[in-house]
Amino acid sequence: MKRIRILLADDHAVVRQGFKMILDAQADMEIVGEAANGREAVELAEQLRPDVVVMDVSMPELNGIEATRRLATSAPRARVVALSMHKDSVYVREILRAGARGYLLKDSGAADLVAAIRAVASGESYLSPAVSNAVLDDYRRQATNPIDLLTSREREVLQLLAEGKTNKEIAGVLNLSVYTVEAHRGRIMEKLNLHSIGELVRFAVRNGLIE
């Protein structure tokens, strides 16, 4: 029997351990790797080529939404099951638009997690029963979003700015010059028509980049 190869991405080790216990008990599943943030998830998915990535939506440095968007290009074979404690439409909408095939609330039972992974691995979609029809309707209505104006790098810089990092700290994280980070910051503010860090943080929260 071919086993489903799974990568777990969650910034809480205790959560990953709990999922691992559940999934290791399944004869048709194996955990091939664990990541503590979105950047690690993308790197490991490229190396390990999992069938399914169980992806926490809210992670530091690079969130699950942006990581999912990158996987669509760098590891297109990997199907993403998004994990979140949020029922808010913005989180569902953005991660599905990024390419996730499933959305599971963190308070779901073990059987739901197993069912979601099996469904997504077989090419189907899976949405947590607690996610309402209204949320799905909202997702379908969204034709455009200002965040689509940003490049992948600009979305990355936006998240780090919203997390409170300075230009110098961001330059260190992304291996860029401070000048380049300042240029990205200026373009982000211009594209989104934002005029302060406070507005930028509120935009990031509304679009699920940070909590």
* Tens of pLDDT, residues 138-181: 655 654 677 878 888 998 999 999 999 999 999 999 999 998 99
104-109-111-115 Cα dihedral, nearest 10 degrees: -10
Q: Residues 50-87, buried b or exposed e (16+ Cβ, 10 A)?
A: bbbbbbbbbbebbbbbbbbbbbeeebeebbbbbbbebe
Give ranges for CATH 1.10.10.10 in the chain. Answer: 146-206
Classified by CATH at the fold level, domain 146-206 comes out as: Arc Repressor Mutant, subunit A (1.10.10)
Q: What is the model's pLDDT at position 138?
A: 65
Q: What is the mean pLDDT of residues 185-206?
A: 87
At how many degrees (to 10) do helices 133-141 and 89-98 cross?
50
- 134: pLDDT confidence band, cut at 50, 70 and 90? very low
- For residue 118, name the pLDDT band (cuts at 50, 70, 90): very high
Average pLDDT over residues 41-65: 93
* Start and end residues for every CATH 3.40.50.2300 domain found in the chain: 4-141
Rounded average pLDDT over 48-57: 95
* Amino acid found at 58: S
Encode pLDDT of 1-19 as tens digits.
789 999 999 999 999 999 9
Q: How confident is the model at residue 204 (pLDDT cuts 50, 70, 90)?
A: confident
Helices (H), 25-177: 38-48, 64-74, 89-98, 110-121, 133-141, 152-162, 167-174
- Can you identify the CATH homologous superfamily of domain 4-141? Response regulator (3.40.50.2300)
